[in-house]
Structure 1
């Protein structure tokens, strides 16, 4: 039986990060059902309840050290933990947890990380110093692999795999249907989901999405529903965009589990997403998607499935977005086989993360 400690942005009601944790737990326990997992979390009670694992508060370093001293591996991942664009404090926090594990003589794995951008001179030096101490790195895309080379993190073995969530099994759609019905969103017309986020109070992309949503209702006969991925932040911006529309749109008000969100996405005919993991949920549930980029991680994911973004938050236009939507609309009845094959390959690569993690435990246990 293995004891593994998992570090990441967990316990903050971010559906994408919670999905990554759920996916890691699912993949690791698929291989080794009796594994013991302890998660370092911003809300240990929520993590215990949501995921059925042990958890410890992320700033309780004495307790983290105690649990880590008994463990066989520290996993740092997934997501964009190691970057200094949104904040350099989080970069140094995650590096400090990795350093603690190495001081305790424990192997460390970066698990399907999206690396960078790392821009500050001090941050680059810290990444290079501690990154070269770790035992194994998997990254979710080629861009992250190139970022590691740029940072001169060259000592550990590095594998390009895929986002952990792509290893998840598709779920039944009935739960999603029940949620939609509860909020008056059932019907025969095609259903388009929008997953949006606030960004610097910018107005342009909100107006574009509102106009495009109106055109989908009027031109394509679609119903439109907003799916909040980070609650309650995404609920607020969803309501702002829906208020700009001339036609009625639904806004789902709740905070949903990973399984519920996957089921909801499975009921869609098309997803338009700014949130990365909304796009990944669409891939898992085989739903056509159009991505709008605010971060290189969106571009990188879309490239892995043979797609490009429909515009950035600054550059997206109604005409450009609608052109992409019309192309995807035809795929509701005739799926894109090339993209489906790419997604199947990414599923296998995502599962490889868990296989490599447990092989590292066994290797160190000899």
Structure 2
């Protein structure tokens, strides 16, 4: 029986990261049902219940060392773990786990990571050393390949694949409909889903999204539903926007499973997202999407399906958002088909991450 330890941003109530873990476990288990997987988590009990795997605390270093000694492979990822724009400390934490595995003689795979931006001489040197001493790197986009090249990481096998969530299976729409009904948001109206996040205390983009919400209700006769990908932070951000609206909108205030999120998104006619995995969920469920950029990972994912973000959080306007909303709203089927063809290719690439990991663990 091969043993794998998984390190990532798990157990922190972030829907995108939990979906990533679900997708990874799903594909890894399909390939080798006998794998023993232990997840390093901020909330081991939640991870055990949610995913049905062994889990240990992200600060329990004696337990982490014990697991790494026994493991055949450390998977670091997926997600944007190796960057220091949103958090400087987390970069060094994930590097430390990788370094521990390396010194204990455990193989290491960076799994479908979104690399960078990594800023600062010390951080770049540390990343260059680690990147050149792991056993395998897969990245989820071309931008991450460029960041690896900029950092001088070239001694390791590197492949460009896709975000792990793209390998997850679509689900039915019934659970999403039941949630809509519980919030009195069901009925025949079409739905615009909006996924938001707090960002540096900025108010401008919240005012813009409130204006867009009102315009969509009035002009398109649609229902606007805000979905929280990070609980409870995104609920607060959505409520702040809803408080600025004049027309009725719905803010979902509960915590949901990956399956429930996918089902919710499947009931949308269009997804407008700041959160990356809201856009990826839309891709999995065949829903047209629009992304607003705050981080290169948004631009990179949209580029992979032949799209661009509609502005960025700092200077996006209601007018430019509405132009793109109208364009996609009036021709949803064309965009479903176009995105679907590209996403089918990305789905296979996402599953390839797990194939590489299992092969490495068995060596």
**What is the TM-score when the length of structure 1 is the normalising length?**
0.98
Aligned counterpart, 2:72: 72
Offset, 1:336: 4.1
Please give the alpha-carbon distance, in whole angstroms, between the structure 2 residues aligned to 1:196 and 1:9: 19
Paired residues of 1:288 and 1:331 also in contact (CA < 8 A): no
**1:91 equivalent in alignment to 2:91:** yes
The equivalences for 1:39-188 within 5 A come to 39-188=39-188
Residue pairs, 1:188-227, within 5 angstroms: 188-227=188-227
- The SS at the match of 2:330 is helix
The answer to whether the aligner puts 1:319 opposite 2:319 as a matched pair is: yes
Q: State the 1:255 CA deviation.
A: 0.6
Contact 1:198 1:234 in 2 (8 A): yes
Shift of 1:298: 0.3
State the distance in 2 between where 1:70 and 1:318 align.
Answer: 54
Kindly report which structure 2 residues correspond to 1:307-346, keeping only aligned pairs within 5 A, or say none: 307-346=307-346
Could you list the per-position Cα deviations for residues 29-86 of structure 1 after superposition, in whole angstroms to 9, with x for gaps in the alignment? 1111221110001110011011110000011111111111111100000111001112
How far off its partner does 1:333 sit?
A: 4.1
Q: Residue 332 of structure 1: CA displacement?
A: 3.0
- Contact 2:286-2:336 within 8 A present in 1 as well: no
Cα displacement (A) at 1:16:
1.0
Q: C-alpha deviations, 1:271-313, integer Å up to 9, x for none?
A: 1000000000000000001100100000000000111001100
CA distance, structure 1, for counterparts of residue 331 and residue 166 of structure 2: 21
Kindly indicate whether residue 304 of structure 2 is the aligned counterpart of residue 304 of structure 1: yes
Residues 150 and 334 of structure 1, relative CA distance in 2, 3 Å threshold: closer
Which runs of structure 2 are paired with 1:2-41 in the superposition (5 Å)?
A: 2-41=2-41
- RMSD between superposed Cα atoms in Å: 0.9
Task: Report the CA distance between 1:335 and its aligned residue.
Answer: 4.3
Distance 1:337 1:283 in 2: 11
Counterpart for residue 266 of structure 1: 266
**CA apart distance, 1:340:** 1.4
User: Which residue of the partner structure matches residue 251 of structure 1?
Assistant: 251
Partner of 1:357: 357
Task: Structure 2 unaligned segments of length 5 or more: list them.
Answer: none
For structure 1, the residue ranges without an aligned partner over 5 or more in a row are none
* Distance in 2 between residues matched to 1:16 and 1:167, nearest whole Å: 13
Q: Kindly indicate whether the alpha-carbon contact (under 8 Å) linking 2:283 and 2:339 is maintained by their aligned counterparts in 1.
A: no
Contact 1:204 1:314 in 2 (8 A): yes
Cα distance between partner residues in 2 of 1:284 and 1:2: 30
Moved over 6 A (4+): none
Alpha-carbon offset, residue 102 of structure 1 = 1.1
Give the distance between the partners of 1:331 and 1:252, measured in 2 at CA: 27
CA–CA separation in structure 2 for the residues paired with 1:321 and 1:71: 48
Paired position in structure 1 for 2:281: 281
Work out the number of aligned pairs and report it.
363
TM-score by length of 2: 0.98
Partners in 1 of 2:71 and 2:209 — Cα distance?
47
Aligned-partner Cα distance in 1 for 2:333–2:154: 46
Distance of 2:360 and 2:207 partners within structure 1: 49
CA distance in 2: counterparts of 1:334 and 1:160, whole angstroms: 28
